[in-house]
Amino acid sequence: MSDDKIRWWWTEIGEPEIRSVEKAIRARHINRGPVCLEVENRIAEILGVPHVVLTTNGSAALVLALLACDVGPGDEVIVPAATFIATAHAPLLLGAKVRLVDVLPDRPLIDTAGIEAAITERTKAIICVHLNGAVCDMPAINAVAARHGLKVIEDCAQALCSRGPGGYCGAGANIGTFSMSIAKLITTGEGGFLSVTDDDLHTRLMKLRNQGVMTVADNVFDGFGFNLRFNDILAAVALAQVARLPAKIEGVKRVYQFYRRHLADLPYLRMLEIRVDRGEVPLWSQALCADRDKVISLLAERGVEARALNPCLADSKHLGNSGTFPNARVYASCGLTLPCGPDQPQEALERTAAALREIAGQIDTDLQAFMDRARHERD
């Protein structure tokens, strides 16, 4: 790192990416071409799915997935109240209404019982989010969807290569969506992709990202689509990183397991559970803590960057949802992300742990009291 500040995320981008991009440019592979196809094939092989479709970013992947599932004006899409805003903005962009469902008390994953209660005659799809590599209960969610004739989209932006009992995230529903933004295992700055098992859905996605046709040069436009194509220059960056994906996975596991070992006795902080022994991949190292904002401020004074977890989506008034969502509010009020990333130096982890111990005397140790307050703050 270029200074003494410990960044909340660190991944190395260097010579392998440079060489890969140079090779693509020298071969005049600039727009969507053979490099994109190779990346799609490599990721499909890793996830064990027949098709992967590259696109411009994770948000575009969500929009494409919803379009492929025929979501439009007047429809409703179920979304967890604890997730990044992009999950909700995608259906909103298409004129659909977002219906928020609370998450589980012990893990920030959509509550299946809440899904059932939120379904109306207008519901078209469920977006379940495998937040930070924690895997949703896909058999239960798929069973609810089957009973009501709904499509299921897995938001796997934070869950590349996480596995549950049924296999990899993104392979257990109609469509999976992924992100390749900066703080992901594979990063191209911006970028995303979709995983799909159904051949007809794959063809539809290919057309939707390409102005409604398979080949623009044919000059026959008889269906809707848009330009959401990826390109070979950025795909070359992804290709270099796909080769290092196993090492990146081990890197984020190393960081998470370090914090689990070295912070277990801090009374004001509790690491969120990621079931590494069952195949889940902890993209980020996250915790619940008492007096979260004070902790972030005190860490910043010591050159350690930490980030608050996303706010409860019910606070985004333009989504048009009211309600208490008590469990989502706990994560929003008490959750933080510690310095992490596959290439975070060991020295940075040790400094972070030391800083958390140093400030312990200034933090209220009653974490449960902060969680209870957050749970009832909108009652």
Q: pLDDT digit string (tens) for 181-206?
A: 999 999 999 999 999 999 999 999 99
What confidence score (pLDDT) does residue 378 get? 64
For residue 150, which of 128, 183, 168 has the smallest C-alpha distance? 128
pLDDT (average), residues 20-35? 96
pLDDT (average), residues 214-222? 87
| Residue 94: pLDDT over 70 | yes
pLDDT (average), residues 95-120? 97
Q: Mean pLDDT in the chain? A: 96
Q: Where do we find the tokens 């599932």?
A: 69
Give 53-71 pLDDT, tens digit per residue: 999 999 999 999 999 999 9
pLDDT (average), residues 301-310? 97
What does the radius of gyration of the chain's CA atoms come to, in whole angstroms? 21
Distance linking the first and last C-alpha atoms of the chain:
45
Looking at the chain, how many residues does it have? 379
74: left (phi over 0), alpha (psi -120 to 50) or beta: left
For the chain, list the domains and their CATH numbers: 15-242 (3.40.640.10), 245-375 (3.90.1150.10)
pLDDT band at 3 (very low <50, low <70, confident <90, very high): low
| Integer angstrom CA distances of residue 363 from 295, 296, 307 | 7, 11, 17
| Integer angstrom CA distances of residue 173 from 136, 139, 232, 303, 322 | 11, 9, 28, 42, 28
